[in-house]
Structure 1
Amino acid sequence: MVRKSGPWRALLDDVASVERSGMAVSVGLRCALGMLPPLIIGVATGYVGDGVSAAVGALVVGFVSFEGRYRSTLRNMMLASVGVTVSAFVGAIAAPHLLLLLVVLAIWGFLAGIAGAFGPGMSMAAMQAVEVLVVFSSLGMGIEGSVVQSLWVLGGALLQIILLVLTWPTRRLDGEMASVGEVYRRLSNYARSSPRTAPAADQLTSGADWLGDPNPLGDPSAIVALKELFQLAQDIRLSLSALVFEARGEFDEAETESQWAISFLQQAAVLLGAIGDQLSLSTSLKAKVRLWSRRHRRLFVRSLDLVAPEADASRPILGLLARQLDRALHLTNEVATAGSRVVLPGLNIGNQGSLDETLRRRLRGLGKVLAADSELLFHAGRLVLVLVAGTYLAHAFGLANGYWVPMTAAVVLQGDFSGTVQRGLARLGGTLIGAVAVTELAALVVPSHGVLIVSIVVLTWCTYATYRANYFLYSIFLTSDVVAMFAIIGSPVGSTSEERAIATALGGAVAIAVFILWPTWRRRLLPKSLAAMVRTQGAYAKAVLSCFDTTHADDDGVLDVEELRVLSVSARSSRQLAATLLEGMSTEPGTQQAAVATAGAILSQVNFCALLALALNAELLTEHQFFSGMIELGNAIEQLACYQADRLMSFGSMSDPEEVGPPPPFPSDLVASTVLYRQILELVSSFQELGALIEQYGSVVLMI
């Protein structure tokens, strides 16, 4: 949804808002406990500084555990452990030589910038390596001392990995079950909300994330059942889209014959909600809920008999959805029984080849990252600049804790203006409050080592817990945590707090200045994203229509479901990306609201095209008819979509794409098929209406 408030008010609202779902209390506690052994060992042996180095290793690698689920998290943490160890050694060696340090920072910054091509986990691991490099560049020591400190950092990092693996047996499959439950709850909300367009583009994201990397100690049968439940949710999503198409007339109060579809949607919403609730409940309550969901099943079957006794024969989608829901209930009860078991003798590591294939695919795509217009390349360049400029300014001003300048600039810098300013404001405000709070507390009492250790662990817990919930609160706790770690090695708290506040302000200013000088405005990226969205939606529509062609009649109804799912995921991802860019564009300074409104209208129209394509895809899962000329019709739709995409990219340039002709006439036997004819007719009309919106968007862009 596009913001209606001004960009600066929206930024302040983001700084103050707390995302409750982002609170990580249990994960934060596990990561915070990784700080305890190094600090205790350091104080007990008298090597407090070494213990703090190990705690730093545990702190930074703990953040990497927030990305991924199981095997992917373990892989990222192991890579991060190696990265922070090397960074600690190199940073300590290069510290006395400013020119060498600037070169090393530039290399590290560039690598961290392009690491985003390999996923958020790799990007996070690379950024932690950069932060450790910056921190240890403030020490400056010989080779022997650098080796010792880097080994302490490695020890703390490995401790976090051990704590992570130890929690796997206790987690069972709760996360996987809850993620699939969230998918079904969102399907329930969609069916209940009287929708007019396709389901949300990010509706299936959480389930795909968890089931792509399940718990290696989880029961294999439960994992298989959960994956089938997730695949079933994708099919149910198609069936719901078909019902929404039928029910649109009643939603608009223009037709009464669609009442059966609305009643069916409402009953389906109840059952989908029951499935989602059951999967999300704790294991001890699942047996009770199984009986409750069975009662919902009986009520649903009875309501089906009452609502659509005649429609079921003429509209096979009803029978399809009823069978899908029945299967989902069966699988849900099966998962509830098996999901609490833990497999200890041997690890169910899943398909490791899939991870290797993913890595190879991302390596093949690395060339695109290095293209001249790559957004990641721009971000890598900005990251190099903030690290080099921040370090140089810290040395020029002679700041005692000057490393905080480049580190603040690096973590504040985001890929968009709004995120950079938001983080800059939150980081500055959080640092000032955290520094003042710890300074005042230290003035009242002189804490012992024991009190400081407990304080550091508690503050670290709060830092992790608020990391994804609110960056402002996270900055408060992080600053307090760092000042407390300086206090335990004997650094004056007051001077540390003042210097850190100055360095934070300077680092935030560097990040914002670099982004303004070398920007990546969302409004410049949006036309390309909109074009990709239209193009992928056209490819999906073509594939669906082609499956109705008579050339497939001899296939005994065999459908390449996987190919359609791949195209559907591509279209869904492109719609999600366009929506994200539109959201970011609305908060950028200088953005014209007319451009936001017209781009939003294009997105809404494509969502409607997606609804129609999904509804037709659902019909393919039933015993449907085949028609001649559907391949030609699908090709015409794709050509029209490609023309519209090229038109979006041509605004402001000297060349226009070659226009395409009208689609071929509909087959006569298709016209006789009432339901399919209406769906396909509206699909073609929707793509044609999309052209008018694109021309309107072009006129606005050219005026700007």
Structure 2
Amino acid sequence: MMTHYWRAVLHATRHGFRVGRPMQNPQALLRVAVGIVLGTAVGYVLDQQMLCVGAWLAGLGSMIPHQRHRLGVSAASAALLCVVGPAVGVYVHGVPWLLYLFAFLGVFAGGMLMMFGIGLGMRAIIMTILMVALADLAPDVATGMTFVKWLALGGAIGWICQLLPPYGPRFATQRNAVAALYEALAADVRASTEDGTAHQPWPGPLLAARQTLTVLPQFSRAAAASLFGLVGEAERIARNIRVLQTAEGADPETYRARSAAIAAALSDVASAVRSGRPAETTADWASQGFSPTRSGEAHEDRLRDLGAALTEAGRLAGMPAVTKSDDSWRHAELALLHAEPGFAARGLRRLREELTWSSPVFQHALRLAVAATIAEAVGRATGDWGGLGEPGHAFWLFLTAAIVLFPTFEHTFSRGISRSAGAIAGGLIGWALTLLPDGRALHYLLLIVLLFLYLAFRSTGQPLMIMWITAWVSYLGAGGSSAWTRTADTVVGSVIAMALYLVWPTWQSKSLPRLLASWMRVEGRRLSALAAAWAEPSTADPGALDRMGHEARAARHKFDEAATHATSEPVNHLARWTGPELLSLSRSVHEVAKCSAVLTAQLPVSQMPGVPYAARYAEPLQRVMSELATAAETGAQPDLSLTSELRDVLGADLADTAPGRRPGQDVFDQVTHRVEDLASAMRGRDS
């Protein structure tokens, strides 16, 4: 057993010490750097270091991921981090039980808000950290509010610098998410020509793009019409690509040439979306290799539709934001997305759903709050570390535990170990700097330099980022005890977070059967609805199909994420499926989902005659998927005879078919085979 834990810890350590690219998003870094310089300069004149801290906090708030307008989010962040959190901390300083209560509730709320995006949750947690910091540091209300005053002034300076150009196009966050969606599609197309298989970018980028659009309030959605349309066209493009990827008998050279052209077109769209400017080429992509090479070519309707979708995406990519008073901006592919309620209503509904003990989100938020509160109590109990450190340091343990603890073993241990190593190095640097000659100008200059190094390396990973911020904090205190305290607090806070994860784990390996079953039930309903729509196109409900498709993608994304993290857990040897078996199972899941995409892409329109034989598949598909889901949940071996009825339907169809296959027969043939493969892949190590 210990061997598995050591192997998992080593894997997490390697993950934690991976080095990313420095200086990412240089324009945002430059605005923050200007704010730090101005805040430090004013602080030098007034002899108040807290202005430097306030300017840095305002800049930090602006760089946390956000989905609304940058200036509004930056202003709200500066107010929360520099005024609201610290002021509450000052007033609860003398009431420890109230401080613990507020700290617990603040971190718990932040953990719950993570379900809507890391930015919202992190702002709540950092605000709580600053509340605890001022409660620990302020000797009395008057002195504490003086700290808040200077923090607020520094925060105001930092926010003013956010007004500096460049401003970028409107809906920048949404544009980046949609551009990433098209880049993922391009990468998937290229991968299918390199090794003959698609790497399945879905559903992550698509879900992320849809999520950023649903955050927009209803009154501004018409102005983002082109972005809604681009997501709809991306779904349409992806379905057509899936049809071409599953087509048999395609000429390899033609397929590679066509795929290269498709990938190039998708990359052009991504660049145009991100910049907000029209694509460099405005030619009709439908005439550049995406139309059939000859009349009667297999899937020629899909080729024509793909070319039309790429052309429309190119048109939408450079479209400016316009406001329309009617519903003409609504995209037919996105009935659900347009009707999605605003963030407040949707958020409250989601919170109510997650406030149950069975919810992983609730359990992680509760565990996070417990870990942070324990860390604060440990910090207060250690006093000044027996005279070796500084008093009022407990908030550093609180901060570390709240930042290190993640829902997965790999992330928690990689962050805990790498942050501790970075803190040790940073503490040594900060201590060495305190040995330099004492001078106020040099002190403020070094504060700027250390923060610049933090900004430059914040995107490289935990060790380098924490090294420079620890050096800054250690030097800010201008004493060896400050460096020692900050380092020790980081190490102890990390140990508390990692230890609590081991005591109260949420193993992804154990959640896989439940997540697989959840996806199977949703996908079964979707396949059944698609079969019924094939039989009678006039009765198809596009909104319902869109909703089921979105639910299926969300469920599959949860399974994919859990499967990815499960392979790095120390208990994966006890899981139902081994690593190779899980890989095979994931591929089967993707293949079934691909069949759903192909069925959707080739769905007859309402004016077309249906294919009545498709109705035979509706009930068996849903029932088989439901029974396989039950087998996944209960741990029973799937009964491979469950798919025999699908085989019987397929056999009857083939017997009834005149020379030449019926429309869609190949697709339903693939569905039958893929569901059979899924049932076989479920037979884990106990088979």
TM above 0.5, yes or no, is yes
What's the counterpart of residue 665 of structure 1?
Answer: 649
1:517 maps onto 2:503 in alignment: yes
What's the counterpart of residue 29 of structure 2?
Answer: 28
Task: Identify if the C-alpha distance between structure 1 residues 560 and 272 changes in structure 2 by more than 3 Å, giving closer, same or farther.
Answer: farther
Displacement of 1:157 in angstroms is 4.2
Q: What letter is aligned with 1:471?
A: Q
Give the length in aligned residue pairs. 652
Structure 2 unaligned spans of 5+: 324-329, 331-336, 385-389
Measure the CA separation in 1 of the matches of 2:309 and 2:22. 30
1:620 maps onto 2:620 in alignment: no
Displacement of 1:211 in angstroms is 5.0
Displacement of 1:156 in angstroms is 4.1
- CA-to-aligned-CA distance 1:203-259 (integer Å, 9 cap, x gap): 43554456556899x9988x4334323321210110011111114xxxxxxxxx322
Task: Identify if the C-alpha distance between structure 1 residues 386 and 416 changes in structure 2 by more than 3 Å, giving closer, same or farther.
Answer: same
How do 1:138-537 and structure 2 match up within 5 A? 138-164=136-162, 167=165, 169-171=167-169, 179-192=177-190, 193-194=192-193, 195-196=196-197, 199-201=200-202, 202-205=204-207, 207-208=209-210, 223-247=224-248, 257-259=249-251, 263-264=254-255, 266-277=257-268, 279-280=270-271, 290-291=280-281, 294=283, 299-300=288-289, 304=291, 307-311=293-297, 315-332=300-317, 335=318, 357-399=342-384, 400=390, 401-449=393-441, 451-484=442-475, 486=476, 491-537=477-523
Task: Identify if the C-alpha distance between structure 1 residues 176 and 385 changes in structure 2 by more than 3 Å, giving closer, same or farther.
Answer: closer
**Of 88, 96, 100, which residue of structure 2 is paired with 1:102?**
100
- CA-to-aligned-CA distance 1:159-210 (integer Å, 9 cap, x gap): 5554445557345577655654443343233233245458322243554456
Q: Would you say the 8 A contact 1:412–1:423 is kept in 2?
A: yes
Measure the CA separation in 2 of the matches of 1:353 and 1:157. 37
Task: Identify if the C-alpha distance between structure 1 residues 495 and 74 changes in structure 2 by more than 3 Å, giving closer, same or farther.
Answer: same
Q: Would you say the 8 A contact 2:216–2:342 is kept in 1?
A: no
- CA-to-aligned-CA distance 1:373-408 (integer Å, 9 cap, x gap): 222222233223322322222222223233312221
Given the two structures, how large is their TM-score scaled by the length of structure 1? 0.81
Q: Percent identity?
A: 18
Displacement of 1:609 in angstroms is 0.7
Q: Would you say the 8 A contact 1:532–1:645 is kept in 2?
A: yes
Task: Identify if the C-alpha distance between structure 1 residues 170 and 214 changes in structure 2 by more than 3 Å, giving closer, same or farther.
Answer: farther
Give the match's secondary structure for 1:662. Answer: helix
Task: Identify if the C-alpha distance between structure 1 residues 49 and 186 changes in structure 2 by more than 3 Å, giving closer, same or farther.
Answer: closer
Displacement of 1:418 in angstroms is 1.4
1:39 maps onto 2:45 in alignment: no
What's the counterpart of residue 597 of structure 1?
Answer: 580
Given the two structures, how large is their TM-score scaled by the length of structure 2? 0.83
Displacement of 1:424 in angstroms is 0.8
Give the match's secondary structure for 1:680. Answer: helix
**Which is bigger in relative contact order (C-alpha 8 A, separation at least 6)?**
1
Measure the CA separation in 1 of the matches of 2:82 and 2:630. 45
What's the counterpart of residue 68 of structure 2?
Answer: 70
Displacement of 1:676 in angstroms is 1.2
Task: Identify if the C-alpha distance between structure 1 residues 158 and 567 changes in structure 2 by more than 3 Å, giving closer, same or farther.
Answer: farther
What's the counterpart of residue 630 of structure 2?
Answer: 646
Task: Identify if the C-alpha distance between structure 1 residues 605 and 29 changes in structure 2 by more than 3 Å, giving closer, same or farther.
Answer: same
Q: Would you say the 8 A contact 1:191–1:265 is kept in 2?
A: no
Displacement of 1:604 in angstroms is 0.9
How do 1:682-701 and structure 2 match up within 5 A? 682-696=670-684, 699=686
Measure the CA separation in 1 of the matches of 2:109 and 2:315. 48
Measure the CA separation in 2 of the matches of 1:377 and 1:178. 30
- CA-to-aligned-CA distance 1:133-171 (integer Å, 9 cap, x gap): 222122133333333433444444455554445557345
Measure the CA separation in 1 of the matches of 2:149 and 2:340. 29
Give the match's secondary structure for 1:138. Answer: helix
Displacement of 1:680 in angstroms is 0.5
Give the match's secondary structure for 2:488. Answer: helix
How do 1:73-92 and structure 2 match up within 5 A? 74-75=72-73, 78=76, 81-82=79-80, 85-92=83-90
| Further displaced range: 266-275 or 574-583 | 266-275
Measure the CA separation in 1 of the matches of 2:104 and 2:67. 31
Displacement of 1:580 in angstroms is 1.4
Q: Would you say the 8 A contact 1:93–1:141 is kept in 2?
A: no
Q: Would you say the 8 A contact 2:55–2:156 is kept in 1?
A: no
Q: What letter is aligned with 2:136?
A: S
Task: Identify if the C-alpha distance between structure 1 residues 156 and 661 changes in structure 2 by more than 3 Å, giving closer, same or farther.
Answer: farther
Task: Identify if the C-alpha distance between structure 1 residues 209 and 650 changes in structure 2 by more than 3 Å, giving closer, same or farther.
Answer: closer
Q: Would you say the 8 A contact 2:177–2:205 is kept in 1?
A: no
Measure the CA separation in 2 of the matches of 1:476 and 1:524. 36
What's the counterpart of residue 592 of structure 2?
Answer: 609
Give the match's secondary structure for 1:17. Answer: coil
- CA-to-aligned-CA distance 1:467-493 (integer Å, 9 cap, x gap): 444112211122122234x2xxxx333
Displacement of 1:431 in angstroms is 0.8
Q: Would you say the 8 A contact 2:416–2:494 is kept in 1?
A: yes
Q: What letter is aligned with 2:283?
A: R
Measure the CA separation in 1 of the matches of 2:551 and 2:273. 34
1:581 maps onto 2:562 in alignment: yes
Displacement of 1:610 in angstroms is 1.1
Measure the CA separation in 2 of the matches of 1:499 and 1:308. 74
What's the counterpart of residue 630 of structure 1?
Answer: 614
Q: CA RMSD in A?
A: 4.0
Task: Identify if the C-alpha distance between structure 1 residues 119 and 279 changes in structure 2 by more than 3 Å, giving closer, same or farther.
Answer: closer
Displacement of 1:70 in angstroms is 2.8
Structure 1 unaligned spans of 5+: 248-256, 344-349
Measure the CA separation in 2 of the matches of 1:680 and 1:200. 24
Measure the CA separation in 2 of the matches of 1:565 and 1:284. 29
Measure the CA separation in 1 of the matches of 2:644 and 2:284. 55
Displacement of 1:329 in angstroms is 3.9
Measure the CA separation in 1 of the matches of 2:396 and 2:552. 42
- CA-to-aligned-CA distance 1:103-137 (integer Å, 9 cap, x gap): 33223333333232443232111111121022212
Displacement of 1:371 in angstroms is 1.0
Task: Identify if the C-alpha distance between structure 1 residues 97 and 694 changes in structure 2 by more than 3 Å, giving closer, same or farther.
Answer: same
What's the counterpart of residue 58 of structure 2?
Answer: 58
How do 1:531-546 and structure 2 match up within 5 A? 531-546=517-532
- CA-to-aligned-CA distance 1:280-338 (integer Å, 9 cap, x gap): 26999978x734x639765426xx46x333316x7422222232233334445xx1xx5
Q: Would you say the 8 A contact 2:175–2:274 is kept in 1?
A: no
Give the match's secondary structure for 2:684. Answer: helix
Task: Identify if the C-alpha distance between structure 1 residues 28 and 459 changes in structure 2 by more than 3 Å, giving closer, same or farther.
Answer: farther
Q: What letter is aligned with 1:696?
A: G
